[in-house]
Structure 1
Amino acid sequence: MENRKRYGVSSESGSRTDGARSDFKKKQKYFAKPNFEKSSKPDIVFGVQSVLETLKGPKEIEKILIQREFGHAEVEKLAKERDLPVQRVPLEKLNRITMKNHQGVIAFVSAVNYAKTSNVIADIFEKGEVPLLLVLDRITDVRNFGAIARTAECSGVHAIIVASRGAAQINADAMKTSSGALNYLPVCRENSLSQVLDELKQSGIQIVACTEKATEQLYSIDFTVPTAILMGSEEDGISENLLEQADHATKIPMVGKIGSLNVSVATGVILYEVVRQRI
């Protein structure tokens, strides 16, 4: 009897006592129901004829998946002409993306139209503005990319430059995470970031690499001159060959026990140092 009372159960009915039920209701109102938001489905085109028509049209394509056991010569030919990544994958992977009649071919369509870096640079100088560009080396997390794009647009970046391979797919999730910033901020997709950095330097734009391996502090860099900021992968930072091309390698001062920041946060820190100096 004593134990039953202690746990709020009546001896007569085995139910909660009024006091326990009241306490339970009071606690219950402080707990909201979880709201698990589903990520957006990727923008895809599937089926041989649909993919072929998309390849012939103006839409930007991120990549094409082809069933490993089969070849689609015309799809591969057009993809090669447009220099698009093609991956051969098992049937199971295609079926995980869609169970509809994909005929062994799926194309991922980009949510944005890409710009050419050379055109963007020419436009910036024509307007008499001081270039501020953001070069992303192998940023693969879609939400990180979206968050970076949002900060970049807010801080006056003229364009984001990514590689055609090994970069995050710019889909509906990226668009949503950017809060629509990708509607206003040009994205340039180039085959070789190394070649792009050379072209930027020839245009009088300094390359500033943000890396924890650097010895130069962020606040010692002059950002009032034409600048391209180079940010690296979430996993292993900036590729060595790109790091060697940088005019400056700089790091964000860290005073805590954790040695690094999330790449989207680090990008925000460095971009707003640029804003501070330029304003």
Structure 2
Amino acid sequence: MENSTQIFGIRAVIEAINAKKAIDKVFVQKGLRGELSQELETVLRKERINTSYVPIEKLNRLTKNNHQGVVAQISPVNFHDLEVLVERVLESNKTPLFLLLDQLSDVRNFGAIIRTAECTGVDGIIIQKSGSAPVNGDTIKTSAGAVFKVPICKVDHIKDAMFHLQASGIKVIAATEKTEDTIYDVSFAEPCAIIMGSEGRGINPSVLKLVDAKAKLPLLGDIESLNVSVACGAFLYEAIRQRR
């Protein structure tokens, strides 16, 4: 069965995934058994759907309906194909500016970043299918509706997106404290994509090895880091400053 934000029931969720519905996340009851649940597991792995294994009480809070141990959250937006989006932006004769989010998990941070991205003219936001914050009601509210205005791409791996951007002549710049260069030492005036890390871990070390440049924000106080959405805003507005 389905409503405007959820699909529940094992067979219904399987059919929705096979029909390429824009599913953000699937909640599966811990210890679920049976042939149909095994089929679901196979489909979830094949399509790399973001999945959480939760107690039945969590599912009961998500829906009052007979969920059979499975509830899927439907995204309120349609995700864009990365290759098509990059080609379209390159053909527009503007200087591309993309944003990659490496498994950012907090929906409010995600929403705030989308709002700032829309205000700064970001051409597209790229997130990974697994481990990323969903596009849900909190995301929409925090973004002030910007989620419907900025193209969002979901990819299997952030690294693959980076390779495609780099092959398209777009420099990837990491926002990280693991560098001596500040945002004032790095050029954002050329085609570029800024990559922000998750709230706790930052950018994955294996991803960090593949970037073209690294930059950090100068911090003059005792606290060692900024909220990721605030840091992202500083990076994006430095890009705007350099391009004016």
TM-score, normalised with respect to structure 1: 0.80
Q: Is the 8 A contact 1:76 1:86 kept in 2?
A: no
Equivalent of residue 241 in structure 1, options 198, 206, 221: 206
Instruction: Give the count of matched residue pairs.
Output: 238
Equivalent of residue 92 in structure 2, options 107, 127, 150: 127
Question: 1:268: which partner in 2?
Answer: 233
TM-score, normalised with respect to structure 2: 0.91
SS of aligned partner of 2:214: strand
Name which of structure 1's ranges 72-81 and 269-278 shifts more when overlaid on structure 2: 72-81
Equivalent of residue 70 in structure 1, options 33, 42, 52: 33
Question: 1:51: which partner in 2?
Answer: 13
Unaligned residue ranges in structure 1 (runs of 5+):
1-41
SS of aligned partner of 2:203: coil
Q: What do you get for the CA RMSD once the two structures are aligned?
A: 1.8
Name which of structure 1's ranges 49-58 and 100-109 shifts more when overlaid on structure 2: 49-58
Name the amino acid aligned to 2:83.
S
Alpha-carbon distance, 1:94 to partner: 1.8
Q: Over residues 156-211 of structure 1, what are the superposed CA-to-partner deviations in whole Å (9 max), with x where a residue is unaligned?
A: 10000011111101111101110111111011111111121112111111111111
Mark the structure with the bigger radius of gyration: 1
Name the amino acid aligned to 2:5.
D
Alpha-carbon distance, 1:273 to partner: 0.6
1:27-46 aligned at under 5 Å gives the runs: 43-46=5-8
Equivalents in 1 of 2:147, 2:85: separation in Å? 15
Aligned-pair identity (%)? 42
Alpha-carbon distance, 1:74 to partner: 4.2
Question: 1:195: which partner in 2?
Answer: 160
Equivalents in 1 of 2:54, 2:185: separation in Å? 48
Moved over 3 A (4+): 73-83, 85-90
Equivalent of residue 112 in structure 1, options 67, 77, 83: 77
Equivalents in 2 of 1:134, 1:148: separation in Å? 9
Unaligned residue ranges in structure 2 (runs of 5+):
none
Name the amino acid aligned to 1:50.
A
Question: 1:155: which partner in 2?
Answer: 120
The one of the two structures with greater contact order (alpha-carbon pairs below 8 A, sep at least 6) is: 2
